Chain A
C-alpha cells in the first residue's frame, strides 16, 4: 500500500509503542500466546540439548562399543531412542510454536477486522464523507494485517530473549571475564539490527510506495486501454510504465544491497565472537583463571545463539509497520460519533408529509472547490483524513419546504445548488447544522432506529451494487417474496435484463459477479427502493444513465403503481422528468429561489427559464446552422 510511505524507522518511541501493541495481543489471546511460547522454549531447549546429546552418545556408546567392543543392544537402542526423542521434542516445539503463533495472528486479525467493520457501520455518513474509501479499506485490510504481523516471530523472539538471558547467566557463572566478550558481541548484534532497521526502513518504505505506483500506473493504463489504443499511445504508455518499473527496480536494488551487507555481518559476528573467546580464553587458561573446559563451554554457547538473535531482528523489522498500522486502526476505532435516535414510531401507511424548517447545512472544507452534487463522492478522494477543525462550506442556507403526502416534487437547480444534500437531509443520512426536518410532524431525529429507513427510500445517482445475487441486491435481506421482487423490477424497467441474465434472480452481481451497465445499475437501485413500498421516495437524479425513453416509461409507471399514495421527490435535469412533477422547487446557491408549477416558474423565474431552456435554444441554433449548411452544400452542387 502506498500508505507504507509513512513508515518510520525504529526509535525508542516506536519500540515502546510496539511493545504496547504486542501486549494488547498477548492480553487478548493469553492462552494461545502461552502455547506458542511453550513451543518456542521447548524447541530452543531441545535444540541446545541435541548437540550435546549427540556428543554424549558418541563418547559413551559409540566409542566404547566399536573401539573397545563393550556394548549391549539395550545401550545402543537407548542411545538411538534418546537421539530420536530429542528430535521429537524439537519437532513438537517447532510445530506448536508455528501453529499457535499463526493462530494468534489470525485470531487478532479477525477480531480487529470485525471491530473496524462494525465501527464503519456505526459511524455517521458525514464521517464517511470525510474519509477516502481507499483509506478506510486499507485500514480494515493492510493496516490490520500490518499491526499483527510481528505476532508471527513474537514467540520465537521472546523465546530467544529467554535463551539469551540463560546463556548470559551461564557464561557469567562459568567465567565472568569471558562472559564480557559475550556482553560486547550481543549488544553489537542488537546494535547492528537496529542500525540496519533504521537504514533500510525508509528505503524499503520507498520501494513499497514505488511498488504501489507501478500497480497504479498499470491499473490506470489498462482501465483506459480503449483510449490508449484508439489514440495509438501504446509506446508512451509503455515508457511511462517502464519508468515506474525502473524506479522500483532501483529502489529494490538499494534495499538488496543493504540486506546483502547486513546478513553476512550478522552471521560473521558470532563467529568472530567465538574466535575472540578462544584467544582470550587462551590467555585466561595461561593465567590459570579458567580451565579449557570452561572456555569450550562458552564457545559453544556462542555458536548456539546466532539464530535466535536473528529472530529478534525480524521482530524489530516488523515493528515500525505494525505501529503505523495499529495507529491507523486505532484512529478508526476511537472515532467519535454515531447517529442518535429517539423512540418515535411512524404509524399508518399513507404518504409522508415532510416539512423543512430553516434548514442549514455545511460540509467540512476538505475538498478544494466547487459543486455539491458530487461532493460526497469526490470529497473522499481528496480528504486529508484529518478530523481536526476545518473551515466549512455552506451548502444549504435557511431552507423551508413543504412536501404534501402523495405529491411529486421536482428539485431543479444548477450544479452546486445543494439538491443532493437536501435529499440526504430528507432521508436523514446526515443531520442539519441548524433547522429541522419534520416527518409527519415529528423531528426526523426523534424517530427510533430503523423507522425512517423503513418508510423512506433514497435512490442516489451513483448507486452501489452489493456482491450478492440480484434478489439479495433488491431485497437487502427484507422478507419479500419473488413475486414482489419481479413487480419492483418491472416498475423499474429492469425485469427484461434480469430475465436475460444466466441465473435470473440468482445471478451473482458485483465485483466477482456479472457486471451491469450504469443504466442497469440505476434501474436495479430503483427496484431496491420500490420493493420496500416507501412512503417517501427520493430520486436523486436516479435515472441519469437510463435512456430517455426508458426513463419516461419508469416515471410514468410510478404514478400508476401502488405507490400512488407515496410522496415523491425527484432531482431532475431533463425537462420530461420535471414536467411529471406536481410542483417544482427551484434551488440556487443553497436557497429556495422559487416554487410552483413548471409553467409558473418558466413564466416568472428568469434563472429557471434560462436553465431549462438553454439546451433547447442551443438545439434550435444548431438546426438553423445545419439547415444553412445543407443549403450551402446544395448550392455548391
Chain B
C-alpha cells in the first residue's frame, strides 16, 4: 500500500466526522420552554389542580406564623390575663390549618413527581428513538458519550425545575404580586423604595450567574481532564509499567487534580456570593424602610402600626425574591437541557423512510444496479465517481481495493446507510430511496467489520436479528453454518455471557456470532465488511466455513481483506480512486497485469 493512498484515507475519515451535525437551536429561552413543555404532555396534565394545591400550601405557610402571632398577642398577652377560651379555640383551628397545609403540600408534591417523571420518561424515549433514526453520518458526528447525555443527564437537568422550580415560580410570582399590592395599600412610597432596592439585585444576580455558568463549564472541563488522566493510571497500567513512566504520570495527575480544585473553588466563590448578596440587600432594604418610614410617619402620612405591618410584609416579599435567583438558575438549567434534547429532535434524518408509499421488495435473491452513481462526503471531493454496475441475483461478489479507493462508500450506498449525490442505486429495479425501511432492513443485512455484541448471552445476541427465534432454531442455524463444534465447546452454550461489547469472546468469535446473527436474519442480499484483524487459525477456518454457507443462495457483496474471499467469489470488483477499474473472476484478473494483480502479489507475499 502506498503512502498517498493512506493519506487519502485519513482525509476521507476526517471529512466523515465533519458531516451533518446535530441541530443547534437558536430559539429564545421562552420558545424553548414552550416547545419543551409541549414535547411531554404529562408535564402540564392536571396543572391547574396542582397550582391550586400549591397556592393553598403556600397560603398555609404564610398564615400559620401569623396566626401564632395573633394567639400570642390577643390571647396569651391579652390585657387582663390570658384569654383561655380564645387561645384554645385558636390553637385547635391553627392545628387544623397546619394539618391541612401539610396535606395540600403532600398531594401537590406527589402530583408533581408523577407528572414530571412521566414527562421525562417520554422525553427520553422520543430522543432515544430519534438518535437511532438519524443517519450514520450524523450519529458519527458526535461522540457516543455525548449522544448518551442527550437522553440521560441533559434530560435529568430538567427535573429539578419541573419538580420544584416551575411550580414555585408560579406561586412566588403570585406571592410577590400580593405582597406588593398589600404593601402599596399601606404606603406606595415605601413599596416603590423596596422595589428600587431589589431590582439591582435581580440584575446583579443574572450577571453573576453568567459568570457562574462559565465557571461551572471550566469545572466540568477540568474534571473531565482530571478523570481522563486518573483513568490512565488504571487503563494504561501495563503500558505505564512497561515503559517506567510512573513518575511522569503522577505529575500529570497532580497537575490536573490541582487545576480541578482551583476551578471548583473559583466557582464556589461565585456561587456562594449570591445568597449573602440577597441577605445584604434585604438588610439594606429594612434599614432604608425604617428611616424613610419614620420620616413619612413624622410627616403624618403613615401610622406606627402601618409601618410595623409594612415591615412584616417586606418579609413576605423578600422570601420569594431571594428564591427567585435559585429558580432562575434551575430554569436556565432546564432550558439548556431542553435545548440539547431539542437539538436531537430537530435534526432531520437525512436518510429517511419513504413512509406509507414505501415499496416492498419481493423475496428471493436480489438484483443490484448502480446507475451512474457518484458520492462525495459533505464538503469533500468525490470518493465515488460514475459507478455503473449490475450484479445478477445469487452472485457472490468480492469488492477489493486499497484503503480510500471507495469500496466502503460503495457498500454504505448499497445498504442505504447513505444516499448517493448522483445517480441511483436500485435493488430489483426499485430505487433504494423508495423502499420501505421495514422491507429494506429485512431483505438486506450488513455484517460490519467489528461484530458489535450486546452485553447479554450468546443466544440473545444471535436472536437480536429475529427475536422470535427459539433456542432450537438458533442451534440449528449454528449447525447449518458448520459451527456446531464451536458452540459445543463453549462452557454454557447459548447461555454463555459475552461481556460488554462481547469482549469476553475473542475477536474471531465475535465475528462468528455476527455471521450467525446475519444467517438467522435470513436476508436476500448479504453485505459483508470483512474484519482485518488476525485471528487464530482454528477460528479463521470456522469463519471461512461459516461465510461459505452463509452466502449460499443469496446475492452477496463482501469487502474482501482475505485472499480466500476474493478467490471464492463469482466475481471481483476492483476499486481504485473512486472508480471500478477491473471486473471479473479471480482467475481472469490475476492473469492480467493491473491493480488486482498487484494487490494479489502483495497478499501472497504476506500470507504465504
Task: Determine whether the beta carbon of A544 is less than 8 Å from that of B538.
Answer: no
A227 at the B interface (CB under 8 A):
yes
User: Would you call A414 and B540 a contact (CB within 8 A)?
Assistant: no
**Contacts of A54 on B, CB cut-off 8 Å?**
286, 311
A312–B237 CA distance with the chains assembled, in angstroms: 42
Closest to A367 in B: B504
Q: Are B242's CB and A453's CB within 8 A?
A: yes
Complex contact B464–A233 (CB within 8 A): yes
Tell whether, in the assembled complex, residue A103 and residue B265 are in contact, meaning their CB atoms are under 8 Å apart: yes
A91 partner residues in chain B, CB cutoff 8 A: 276-277, 279-280, 283
Other than A214-B151, A230-B415, A368-B491, give 14 A-B pairs with Cβ distance below 8 A: A62-B308, A84-B284, A87-B284, A94-B276, A95-B273, A95-B276, A231-B465, A234-B133, A268-B101, A271-B64, A502-B14, A573-B535, A574-B607, A575-B608
Q: Is there contact, CB below 8 Å, between A623 and B564?
A: yes
Residues from chain B with Cβ under 8 Å of A449 in the complex: 244
Query: Which A residues are in CB contact (< 8 Å) with B106?
Result: 260-261, 264
Per the CB 8 Å criterion, the residue count for chain B at the interface is 176
- B516 within 8 A of partner (CB): no
Q: Are A94 and B275 in contact (CB under 8 A)?
A: yes
The answer for the CA separation of A623 and B87 in the assembled complex, in Å, is 104
Q: Indicate if the CB atoms of B7 and A496 lie closer than 8 Å.
A: yes
A137 in contact with B567 given A62-B290, A453-B244, A625-B548 (CB within 8 Å): no
Contact between B491 and A369 (Cβ–Cβ < 8 Å)? yes
B107 to chain A: which residues have CB within 8 Å?
Answer: 260
**A371–B253 contact, CB under 8 A?**
no
B488 contacts A by Cβ under 8 Å: no
Are B290 and A83 closer than 8 Å at their CB atoms? yes
Q: Is the CB of B136 within 8 A of A226?
A: yes
Query: Which segment, of B171-179, B203-211, B295-303, B426-434, faces chain A?
Result: B295-303
Determine if B236 and A230 form an interchain contact, defined as CB atoms under 8 angstroms apart.
no
- A133 with B114, Cβ < 8 A, contacts A87-B280, A268-B101 known: no
What are 19 A-B pairs with beta-carbon distances under 8 A? A62-B293, A62-B297, A94-B275, A95-B276, A109-B261, A110-B261, A141-B230, A214-B152, A221-B132, A229-B417, A238-B128, A249-B121, A257-B110, A267-B61, A296-B72, A371-B506, A463-B239, A622-B548, A633-B570
Q: Is A259 an interface residue when CB atoms closer than 8 A count as contact?
A: yes
Q: Which of B334-342, B354-362, B435-443 contacts A (4 or more CB under 8 A)?
A: B435-443
Instruction: Quote the shortest CB–CB distance from B274 to chain A (angstroms).
Output: 9
Closest 6 CB pairs of A and B: A87-B283, A232-B441, A453-B244, A256-B113, A260-B109, A66-B297
Contact A278 B279 (CB under 8 A): no
- Identify the closest chain A residue to B441 (Cβ): A232
A residues 441-497 near B (Cβ < 8 Å) are: 449-450, 452-454, 456-458, 460, 463-464, 466-467, 476-477, 495-497
Residue of B nearest to A538 (CB): B242
Q: Which residue of B lies closest to A85 (CB)?
A: B283
Q: Report the separation of the CA atoms of residues A424 and B242 in the bound assembly, to the nearest whole angstrom.
A: 9
- Residues 101-115 of chain B: 1 if any A CB is under 8 Å from the residue's CB, otherwise 0? 111011111101110
Contact A83 B132 (CB under 8 A): no
CA A42 – CA B439 in complex, angstroms? 72
Task: Give A45-80 as 1s and 0s: 1 = Cβ < 8 Å from B's Cβ atoms.
Answer: 000000000100110011101110101000011011
Q: Write the nearest CB–CB distance from A614 to chain B, whole angstroms.
A: 4
Among A189-197, A350-358, A510-518, the one that faces the other chain is A510-518
B452 and A224 contacting across the interface, CB-CB below 8 Å: yes
Q: Do residues B125 and A238 form an inter-chain contact, with CB atoms below 8 A?
A: yes
The yes or no answer to B594 lying at the interface (CB within 8 A) is no
Main secondary structure of the interface of A (DSSP, over half): helix
Contact of B250 among A117, A429, A453 (CB under 8 A): A117
B226 at the interface (CB under 8 A from A): yes
* Most-contacted residue by chain B among A230, A231, A271 (CB, 10 A): A230
Known contacts A84-B287, A249-B117; A501/B10 CB under 8 A: yes
Check A599 for interface membership: any CB of B closer than 8 A: no
Give A102 to B10 CA distance when docked, in angstroms: 47
Among B105, B276, B491, B603, point to the contact of A263 (Cβ < 8 A).
B105
Q: A84-B286, A252-B113, A264-B106 are in contact. Are A71 and B298 (CB under 8 A)?
A: yes
- Of A165-173, A240-248, A397-405, A587-595, the stretch lying at the interface with chain B is A240-248
Are B71 and A278 touching (Cβ within 8 A)? yes
Kindly provide the distance from the CB of A242 to the nearest chain B CB, expressed in whole angstroms.
Answer: 5
What 1/0 mask marks residues of chain A from 281 to 292 whose CB sits below 8 Å from any chain B CB?
110011000001
Which of B82, B103, B272, B545 gathers the greatest number of chain A CB atoms within 10 Å?
B272
Interface membership of chain B positions 227-259, coded 1 if the CB is closer than 8 angstroms to chain A and 0 otherwise: 111111111111111111110111001100110
* Selected contact of B147 from candidates A136, A222, A499, CB within 8 Å: A222
Report B1-19 CB contacts with A as 1/0, cut-off 8 Å: 1010011001100100000
Report yes or no: B120 in contact with A76, Cβ–Cβ below 8 A.
Answer: no
Q: Is B324 an interface residue (CB 8 A)?
A: no
Query: Which one, A87, A113, A382, A427, contacts B279 given CB within 8 A?
Result: A87
Query: How far, in angstroms, from A350 to B474 measured CA to CA in the complex?
Result: 57
Given contacts A84-B284, A369-B491, A575-B608, contact A141 B114 (CB under 8 A): no
Residue B129 interfacial (CB < 8 Å) = yes
Q: Which of B103-154 contact A (CB under 8 A)?
A: 103, 105-110, 112-114, 117-118, 120-121, 124-125, 128-129, 131-133, 136, 139, 144-145, 147-148, 151-152
Instruction: From the candidates A92, A94, A500, name the one contacting B10 in the complex (CB within 8 A).
Output: A500
Q: Is A562 in the interface zone, CB < 8 Å from B?
A: no
Q: Which residues of B contact A575 (CB under 8 A)?
A: 607-608
Q: Evaluate whether A453 and B132 lie within 8 angstroms (CB atoms) in the complex, with A292-B77, A612-B537 already known.
A: no
B-side contacts of A214, CB under 8 Å: 124, 151-152
| In-complex Cβ contact of B125 among A241, A279, A370 (8 A) | A241
Taking the complex as formed, is B49 at the interface, i.e. its CB lies under 8 A from any CB of chain A? no
Q: Classify chain A's interface size.
A: 35 or more
Binds A, one of B88-96, B182-190, B367-375: B88-96
Contact with B along A186-223 (1 / 0, CB 8 A): 00000000000000000000000001001110111111
In residues 251-276 of chain A, which contact B (Cβ within 8 Å)? 252-253, 255-257, 259-261, 263-265, 267-268, 271-272, 274-275
- Which residue on chain A has the smallest CB distance to residue B562? A619
B294 / chain A contacts, CB cutoff of 8 Å: 61-62, 65-66, 71, 76
Q: Is B534 an interface residue (CB 8 A)?
A: yes
Contact (Cβ within 8 A) A549 B491: no
B500 CB within 8 Å of chain A: yes
For A110, A248, A271, A511, the residue with the greatest tally of chain B CB atoms inside 10 Å of its CB is A271
Nearest Cβ in chain B — how far from A112, in angstroms? 10
Residue A122 is within 8 A (CB to CB) of chain B in the complex: yes
A88 adjacent to B283 (CB under 8 Å): yes
Question: Within the assembled complex, what's the spacing in Å between the Cα atoms of A225 and B536?
Answer: 28
B122 (CB) vs chain A CBs: closest residue = A245
Closest residue of chain A to B535 (Cβ to Cβ) is: A573
Q: CA of A337 to CA of B294 in the docked complex: distance in angstroms? A: 76
A268 touches B235 (CB 8 A): no
Is residue A305 within 8 Å, beta carbon to beta carbon, of the partner chain?
Answer: no
In the assembled complex, the CB of A250 is this many whole angstroms from the nearest CB of chain B, namely 8
Within 8 A of B (CB), among A278-324: 278-279, 281-282, 285-286, 292, 295-296, 299, 303
- State in angstroms the CA–CA spacing of A242 and B499 once bound together: 22
| A602 CB within 8 Å of chain B | no
Q: Does B602 lie within 8 Å of A237, measured CB to CB?
A: no
**How far in angstroms is the closest Cβ of chain A from B521?**
6
Say how far A98's CB is from chain B's closest CB, in angstroms.
4
Chain B positions 395-424 with a Cβ under 8 Å from a chain A Cβ: 403, 415, 417
User: Taking the complex as formed, is B260 at the interface, i.e. its CB lies under 8 A from any CB of chain A?
Assistant: yes
* A371 → B minimal CB distance (Å): 7
Please state if B128 and A218 are interface contacts (CB–CB under 8 Å): yes
Kindly state whether residue A22 has any CB partner on chain B within 8 Å: no
Within 8 Å of chain B (Cβ to Cβ): is A140? yes
**Interface contact B7-A113, CB-CB below 8 Å:** no
Interface residue B445 (Cβ < 8 Å from any Cβ of A):
yes
